Amino acid sequence: MINYNKKLIFQKFFFDNTYFFLICILSLSLIVWVIQAVNFLDFITEDGHGLNVYFKYTLLNLPKIISRLMPFIFFVAIFYTINKSEDKNELKIFWINGINKKEFIHSLIKYSLIYLMFQILLSSLIVPLSQNKARTYIQSSSIDFFPSLINEKKFIDTVDELTIYVENKNDQNNYENIFLKDTKDKNNIKIIYANNGSLVNNENERSLKLFNGKIININNKNINAFDFKSTVFDLSNYLTKSITDFKIQEKNSYKLINCYVNFHILNNNSYYHILDCNKESLNILQQELFKRLIKPLYYIALAISACFLFLISKENINHKLNRSIIFLFGTFILILSELTSSLSSKSIIYFKFSIILPIIIILILYLYLYKKINHSQ
């Protein structure tokens, strides 16, 4: 009967905690997503992408937002659930039903391992995949950006290696007094003036048809210029600057580990098939591996920190102050995890220290908590 009661008590506690966690993570993620989405409005106003591209791109950033918020929400959820149980005298019921504090601590540590594993899955596989999808989606949609990109009486340099200026435009994508500067070929810079022109933008062609103007070619120190009645400027090979190059954060952890082991540990210099797998990538690679595989260990430290609430009774005159101190300590651990994340990219020594630090913190907190519990009994 006692074991059955214990099972029900644990189920209720962890159900309450999980429910509160889900409500918070969904609410805060939505708020942060909306704020971030507003910052991405330049895809419409500057880069010329449509609303559907804008929405899908920001949606693909949602896993990254959830990944960043999870540790904080996890700590807040456990902190809130323990405090609520204490205020409602539920903790006393736990102890009466034969659950000792050490047993509860072990259960919370096991519970934190679930979040730890999910965080690793999220940061190692889901987030890199979503970031890669977001970038490739922007690239694949770039064919539609020119009509809304070109604005009247404004120099537009959002397009990589191309500057555009038009004096007037209409709804049919016809332009007057056009200026183009093409720097794609650094050895042959091209400047074009045209009295008028029109944009052709469809699945088969993306170009500017220009009429009555002049082309100036700057080749090393030579300058050549000639007039034209009509010409076509091909736009199909131009992308906006927002279409970034491939980033190491888009690779899953398995490939990053292979890069680190083969290139940086085994000195296998032929291991180049992973992008940025070279000496210059070592710092960012260390930081990325720390974020994905080591930083989640702080979930255990956060769970143990919250367990110090078991030592505080609401009858204690300083119980509110003690709760605040524990919350601030948990916040300090979260800040420390971010600091060590930055530290891990400095050098191999800092990287090793960043790996060891969460383990040391977990052991110190665990042993100190046990000592305090034994002393209080």
Task: In whole angstroms, give the CA distance from residue 26 to residue 30.
Answer: 6
In the predicted structure, residue 277 carries a pLDDT above the cut 70: no
Residue 30: pLDDT band with limits 50, 70, 90: very high
Task: In whole angstroms, give the CA distance from residue 221 to residue 313.
Answer: 83
In the predicted structure, residue 145 carries a pLDDT above the cut 70: no
Query: Which residues are CB-neighbours of 236 under 8 A, at least 6 positions away?
Result: 205, 206, 207
Condensed to tens digits (0 to 9), the pLDDT of residues 147-178 reads: 666 777 887 776 667 788 888 888 777 888 88
Which long-range contacts link 174-181 to residues 24+ away (Cβ below 8 Å)?
174/198, 174/199, 175/150, 175/199, 178/208, 178/210, 178/213, 180/208, 180/233
pLDDT at 143: 47
CB 149 within 8 A of CB 163: no
Condensed to tens digits (0 to 9), the pLDDT of residues 186-220 reads: 778 888 888 988 887 766 677 888 899 888 888 87
Residue 264: pLDDT band with limits 50, 70, 90: low
pLDDT at 1: 46
Mean of pLDDT over the chain: 82
45 vs 94 pLDDT, higher one:
94
* Residue pointed to by tokens 């965080």: 119
How does DSSP classify residue 246? P
Where do the structural domains in the chain lie, given as residue ranges?
2-141+246-376, 149-234
- pTM of the entire structure? 0.76
159, β-bridge pairs:
240
**Residue 144: count of CB within 10 angstroms of its CB:** 16
Angle separating helix axes 348-376 and 298-307, nearest 10 degrees: 20
